Structure 1
Amino acid sequence: MRDVEHAMQAAFVRWTSVCRIPEIELSHAVPNGGQRSKATAGRLKAEGVKPGVPDWQWPVARGGYIGLAIEFKSPGEGPTKEQRDRINALQMAGWLAVLCWDWEAASRVVKGYAGMIKLEFS
Protein backbone atom coordinates (compact mmCIF):
# COMPACT_ATOMS: atom_id res chain seq x y z
CA MET A 1 0.00 0.00 0.00
CA ARG A 2 1.33 3.41 -0.88
CA ASP A 3 2.04 5.96 1.86
CA VAL A 4 -0.92 8.17 0.86
CA GLU A 5 -3.30 5.21 0.93
CA HIS A 6 -1.84 4.07 4.26
CA ALA A 7 -2.37 7.51 5.84
CA MET A 8 -5.89 7.72 4.41
CA GLN A 9 -6.88 4.27 5.66
CA ALA A 10 -5.26 4.86 9.07
CA ALA A 11 -7.24 8.12 9.48
CA PHE A 12 -10.42 6.27 8.51
CA VAL A 13 -9.76 3.46 11.01
CA ARG A 14 -9.12 6.06 13.74
CA TRP A 15 -12.50 7.57 12.87
CA THR A 16 -14.20 4.14 13.11
CA SER A 17 -12.80 3.76 16.63
CA VAL A 18 -14.71 6.84 17.84
CA CYS A 19 -17.76 7.02 15.54
CA ARG A 20 -20.17 5.09 17.82
CA ILE A 21 -21.78 3.09 15.05
CA PRO A 22 -23.28 -0.18 16.31
CA GLU A 23 -21.27 -3.26 15.32
CA ILE A 24 -18.47 -1.22 13.69
CA GLU A 25 -16.08 -3.23 15.88
CA LEU A 26 -16.78 -6.17 13.54
CA SER A 27 -15.00 -4.32 10.72
CA HIS A 28 -11.46 -5.20 9.73
CA ALA A 29 -8.65 -4.32 7.36
CA VAL A 30 -7.34 -6.73 4.75
CA PRO A 31 -3.54 -6.38 4.54
CA ASN A 32 -3.17 -7.33 0.88
CA GLY A 33 -1.12 -4.34 -0.28
CA GLY A 34 2.56 -3.70 -0.02
CA GLN A 35 5.71 -5.41 -1.17
CA ARG A 36 6.46 -8.83 0.25
CA SER A 37 9.29 -11.30 -0.14
CA LYS A 38 8.58 -14.28 -2.41
CA ALA A 39 8.58 -16.56 0.64
CA THR A 40 6.03 -14.42 2.49
CA ALA A 41 3.90 -14.05 -0.65
CA GLY A 42 3.92 -17.84 -1.06
CA ARG A 43 2.87 -18.41 2.55
CA LEU A 44 0.07 -15.85 2.29
CA LYS A 45 -1.18 -17.40 -0.97
CA ALA A 46 -1.17 -20.84 0.70
CA GLU A 47 -3.28 -19.35 3.52
CA GLY A 48 -5.87 -18.10 1.02
CA VAL A 49 -4.86 -14.49 0.37
CA LYS A 50 -6.26 -13.43 -3.00
CA PRO A 51 -5.44 -10.42 -5.18
CA GLY A 52 -7.90 -7.56 -5.47
CA VAL A 53 -9.64 -7.95 -2.10
CA PRO A 54 -10.76 -4.50 -0.86
CA ASP A 55 -8.76 -2.84 1.92
CA TRP A 56 -11.52 -2.65 4.54
CA GLN A 57 -14.57 -4.82 5.18
CA TRP A 58 -17.57 -4.65 7.46
CA PRO A 59 -19.39 -8.01 7.31
CA VAL A 60 -22.67 -6.69 8.74
CA ALA A 61 -25.93 -6.67 6.78
CA ARG A 62 -27.60 -3.29 6.27
CA GLY A 63 -30.07 -1.83 3.78
CA GLY A 64 -30.40 -4.96 1.67
CA TYR A 65 -26.63 -5.57 1.43
CA ILE A 66 -24.82 -8.39 3.21
CA GLY A 67 -21.65 -6.40 3.89
CA LEU A 68 -19.63 -3.30 3.03
CA ALA A 69 -16.20 -3.32 1.39
CA ILE A 70 -14.06 -0.24 0.71
CA GLU A 71 -10.99 -0.05 -1.51
CA PHE A 72 -8.86 3.03 -0.76
CA LYS A 73 -7.08 4.72 -3.65
CA SER A 74 -4.66 7.61 -3.81
CA PRO A 75 -6.10 10.65 -5.63
CA GLY A 76 -5.71 10.19 -9.37
CA GLU A 77 -5.25 6.42 -9.12
CA GLY A 78 -7.71 3.79 -10.24
CA PRO A 79 -8.25 0.18 -9.28
CA THR A 80 -6.28 -2.70 -10.76
CA LYS A 81 -8.04 -5.27 -12.93
CA GLU A 82 -8.04 -7.68 -9.97
CA GLN A 83 -9.62 -5.02 -7.75
CA ARG A 84 -12.30 -4.20 -10.34
CA ASP A 85 -13.07 -7.89 -10.78
CA ARG A 86 -13.27 -8.49 -7.01
CA ILE A 87 -15.46 -5.42 -6.42
CA ASN A 88 -17.80 -6.56 -9.21
CA ALA A 89 -17.93 -10.10 -7.77
CA LEU A 90 -18.72 -8.76 -4.28
CA GLN A 91 -21.47 -6.56 -5.70
CA MET A 92 -22.96 -9.54 -7.55
CA ALA A 93 -22.88 -11.49 -4.26
CA GLY A 94 -24.88 -8.79 -2.46
CA TRP A 95 -22.17 -6.59 -0.96
CA LEU A 96 -21.88 -2.83 -1.24
CA ALA A 97 -18.32 -2.54 -2.55
CA VAL A 98 -16.93 0.91 -3.35
CA LEU A 99 -13.78 2.88 -4.13
CA CYS A 100 -12.85 5.88 -1.96
CA TRP A 101 -10.18 8.48 -2.64
CA ASP A 102 -10.21 10.05 0.85
CA TRP A 103 -11.09 8.95 4.37
CA GLU A 104 -13.94 11.47 4.69
CA ALA A 105 -15.70 9.91 1.68
CA ALA A 106 -15.25 6.49 3.27
CA SER A 107 -16.77 7.79 6.53
CA ARG A 108 -19.79 9.11 4.60
CA VAL A 109 -20.21 5.71 2.93
CA VAL A 110 -20.17 4.03 6.35
CA LYS A 111 -22.66 6.53 7.79
CA GLY A 112 -24.93 6.01 4.79
CA TYR A 113 -24.60 2.24 5.03
CA ALA A 114 -25.42 2.40 8.75
CA GLY A 115 -28.50 4.54 8.01
CA MET A 116 -27.16 7.61 9.84
CA ILE A 117 -27.26 9.86 6.77
CA LYS A 118 -29.12 9.67 3.48
CA LEU A 119 -26.93 8.37 0.67
CA GLU A 120 -27.99 6.66 -2.52
CA PHE A 121 -25.89 3.70 -3.57
CA SER A 122 -26.08 2.48 -7.14
Structure 2
Amino acid sequence: MTNEAYEQTKLFKWAAFARNTYKELDLLYHIPNGGKRNQKGAFNLKRQGVRAGVPDLCLPVARGKFHALYIELKVGKNKATQKQKEWIKRLTEQGNMALVCYGWEEASAVLLKYIRLKSNEEL
Protein backbone atom coordinates (compact mmCIF):
# COMPACT_ATOMS: atom_id res chain seq x y z
CA MET A 1 0.00 0.00 0.00
CA THR A 2 1.44 3.38 -1.00
CA ASN A 3 1.80 6.13 1.57
CA GLU A 4 -1.13 7.99 0.04
CA ALA A 5 -3.27 4.84 0.07
CA TYR A 6 -2.37 4.30 3.74
CA GLU A 7 -3.29 7.90 4.63
CA GLN A 8 -6.54 7.63 2.70
CA THR A 9 -7.41 4.40 4.52
CA LYS A 10 -6.78 6.15 7.84
CA LEU A 11 -9.00 9.05 6.74
CA PHE A 12 -11.90 6.74 5.91
CA LYS A 13 -11.48 4.92 9.24
CA TRP A 14 -11.70 8.31 10.97
CA ALA A 15 -14.75 9.22 8.87
CA ALA A 16 -16.46 5.96 9.91
CA PHE A 17 -16.32 7.13 13.53
CA ALA A 18 -16.96 10.83 12.84
CA ARG A 19 -20.09 10.10 10.78
CA ASN A 20 -21.91 9.37 14.04
CA THR A 21 -21.76 13.13 14.65
CA TYR A 22 -21.47 14.37 11.06
CA LYS A 23 -23.88 12.38 8.88
CA GLU A 24 -22.63 14.24 5.80
CA LEU A 25 -19.50 12.08 5.91
CA ASP A 26 -21.60 9.17 4.63
CA LEU A 27 -21.35 10.90 1.23
CA LEU A 28 -17.53 11.12 1.22
CA TYR A 29 -16.07 8.97 -1.53
CA HIS A 30 -12.82 8.19 -3.33
CA ILE A 31 -12.45 8.85 -7.05
CA PRO A 32 -10.27 5.94 -8.28
CA ASN A 33 -8.38 7.74 -11.04
CA GLY A 34 -4.83 7.11 -9.83
CA GLY A 35 -2.63 4.06 -9.83
CA LYS A 36 -0.45 2.17 -12.26
CA ARG A 37 -2.18 0.18 -14.99
CA ASN A 38 -1.14 -1.73 -18.04
CA GLN A 39 -1.72 -0.06 -21.40
CA LYS A 40 -4.92 -1.99 -22.19
CA GLY A 41 -6.42 -1.29 -18.74
CA ALA A 42 -5.52 2.40 -18.98
CA PHE A 43 -7.07 2.62 -22.47
CA ASN A 44 -10.31 1.00 -21.30
CA LEU A 45 -10.58 3.26 -18.24
CA LYS A 46 -9.95 6.35 -20.35
CA ARG A 47 -12.79 5.29 -22.69
CA GLN A 48 -15.00 4.94 -19.59
CA GLY A 49 -14.30 8.52 -18.49
CA VAL A 50 -11.26 8.35 -16.20
CA ARG A 51 -9.54 11.75 -16.33
CA ALA A 52 -5.98 12.53 -15.28
CA GLY A 53 -5.71 15.03 -12.45
CA VAL A 54 -9.16 14.64 -10.88
CA PRO A 55 -8.83 15.00 -7.08
CA ASP A 56 -8.85 11.86 -4.92
CA LEU A 57 -11.87 12.62 -2.74
CA CYS A 58 -15.25 14.27 -3.06
CA LEU A 59 -17.79 15.31 -0.44
CA PRO A 60 -20.87 16.27 -2.53
CA VAL A 61 -22.38 18.44 0.19
CA ALA A 62 -23.11 22.16 -0.24
CA ARG A 63 -21.71 24.32 2.56
CA GLY A 64 -21.01 28.02 2.90
CA LYS A 65 -20.80 29.37 -0.61
CA PHE A 66 -19.60 26.07 -2.09
CA HIS A 67 -21.37 23.28 -3.99
CA ALA A 68 -19.00 20.47 -2.94
CA LEU A 69 -15.55 19.76 -1.47
CA TYR A 70 -12.78 18.06 -3.44
CA ILE A 71 -9.52 16.97 -1.80
CA GLU A 72 -6.30 15.88 -3.48
CA LEU A 73 -4.52 13.88 -0.77
CA LYS A 74 -0.72 14.01 -0.68
CA VAL A 75 1.94 12.67 1.66
CA GLY A 76 5.37 13.99 2.58
CA LYS A 77 7.10 16.02 -0.10
CA ASN A 78 4.76 14.81 -2.84
CA LYS A 79 3.33 17.75 -4.80
CA ALA A 80 0.25 18.17 -6.96
CA THR A 81 0.85 17.60 -10.67
CA GLN A 82 0.09 20.28 -13.23
CA LYS A 83 -3.07 18.40 -14.28
CA GLN A 84 -4.18 18.19 -10.63
CA LYS A 85 -3.61 21.93 -10.22
CA GLU A 86 -5.68 22.59 -13.34
CA TRP A 87 -8.56 20.45 -12.04
CA ILE A 88 -8.44 22.20 -8.66
CA LYS A 89 -8.55 25.58 -10.40
CA ARG A 90 -11.44 24.59 -12.68
CA LEU A 91 -13.46 22.99 -9.86
CA THR A 92 -12.98 26.15 -7.77
CA GLU A 93 -14.12 28.32 -10.68
CA GLN A 94 -17.35 26.28 -10.75
CA GLY A 95 -18.18 27.11 -7.13
CA ASN A 96 -16.61 24.14 -5.39
CA MET A 97 -13.94 24.09 -2.74
CA ALA A 98 -10.98 22.15 -4.10
CA LEU A 99 -7.60 21.88 -2.41
CA VAL A 100 -4.59 19.75 -1.57
CA CYS A 101 -4.26 18.23 1.91
CA TYR A 102 -1.13 16.58 3.29
CA GLY A 103 -2.03 13.48 5.25
CA TRP A 104 -5.26 12.20 6.77
CA GLU A 105 -5.13 14.54 9.78
CA GLU A 106 -5.10 17.70 7.66
CA ALA A 107 -7.82 16.25 5.43
CA SER A 108 -10.01 15.40 8.43
CA ALA A 109 -9.57 18.92 9.84
CA VAL A 110 -10.55 20.42 6.47
CA LEU A 111 -13.60 18.15 6.27
CA LEU A 112 -14.78 19.24 9.73
CA LYS A 113 -14.25 22.93 8.99
CA TYR A 114 -16.08 22.55 5.68
CA ILE A 115 -19.06 20.74 7.22
CA ARG A 116 -19.37 23.46 9.87
CA LEU A 117 -19.40 26.38 7.39
CA LYS A 118 -22.31 28.76 7.62
CA SER A 119 -24.04 30.35 4.65
CA ASN A 120 -21.67 32.43 2.45
CA GLU A 121 -18.63 31.59 4.62
CA GLU A 122 -15.24 30.55 3.28
CA LEU A 123 -12.86 28.09 4.87
TM-score (norm: length of structure 2): 0.90
Kindly report structure 1 stretches of 4+ aligned residues shifted beyond 3 Å.
none
Question: How many residues matched?
Answer: 118
Give the deviation of 1:89 after TM superposition.
Answer: 0.4
Counterparts of 1:17-56 in structure 2 under 5 Å? Answer: 17-20=16-19, 21-56=22-57
- SS across alignment from 2:23: coil
- CA RMSD for the aligned pairs? 1.6
Determine the C-alpha separation between the residues in 1 that align with 2:100 and 2:86. 13
Q: Return the alpha-carbon distance in structure 2 between the equivalents of residues 103 and 24 of structure 1.
A: 14
Deviation per CA, 1:17-51: give whole Å up to 9, x if none: 11021221112101111100111111111111101
CA distance in 2, matches of 1:30, 1:96: 16
TM-score by length of 1: 0.91
Q: C-alpha distance in 2, partners of 1:63/1:112?
A: 10
* 1:8 and 2:39 correspond: no
Whose helix fraction is larger, Structure 1's or Structure 2's?
Answer: 2
Aligned to 1:95: 96
Per-residue Cα deviation, 1:63-101 (whole angstroms, up to 9, x for no partner) = 110000110112111100000000000000111111111
